[in-house]
Amino acid sequence: MTEARRRTENAPSAADRILATASQLFYEHGIRATGVNKIAERAAVTKVTLYAHFGSKDGLVAAHLRARDRRWWAEFDTYLAESMTAEERLKAMFDAYRTWALAGEFRGCGFVNAATELTAPDHPGRAIIHDHKEGIRRYLEAFATEAGCLHPADVAEEWFLLLEGATVAASLRHGTEPLHRARQAALRLLPSARAE
């Protein structure tokens, strides 16, 4: 196999290039501010190719959010891999958010950012955002149940609000102190902390 052929076979497909480019631009500049012309130009494809793969800008936004959701859960699973107890998993969740807030140009939660722009209730991206956030809340409820919290759904909601609020505060303040404080507050809601 020639080197040129090997490079061609390993090169990302047009759809992959479009999606990667759109995801970067949507996060850096916002969904509304990023037009399909800019995405097509950066991905080195025509608009016809973009529409052939994703149907519309809304279709591309939905694909971007689905891909972001898959990446998020894959990364999160690595944080949980060595956590044995509910308390360790709760700490790992806050630590994961802190790590993400320190990585690159953090502009807040990509799902929250998208939700502020996708105001139409029937936009296909809204359901993906809802499912992503509900998945996080369900994880937290499982942690609360395992930890022996008396009202796990209520505790999970408080943890969820701490996590989401601290993420917004971290992006506004350009620092991770809000996530550190939220983590400490979350741990105080554990039965073991209340028993001390």
Residue pLDDT, tens place only, 125-176: 999 999 999 999 999 999 999 999 999 999 999 999 999 999 999 988 888 8
The span from the first CA to the last CA of the chain, in angstroms, equals: 67
Domains of the chain listed by start with CATH number: 1-55 (1.10.10.60), 64-194 (1.10.357.10)
Q: What is the pLDDT of residues 62-80, one digit of tens each?
A: 999 999 999 999 988 888 8
pLDDT at residue 193 in the model = 64
The structure's pTM equals 0.86
On average, the pLDDT of the chain sits at: 90
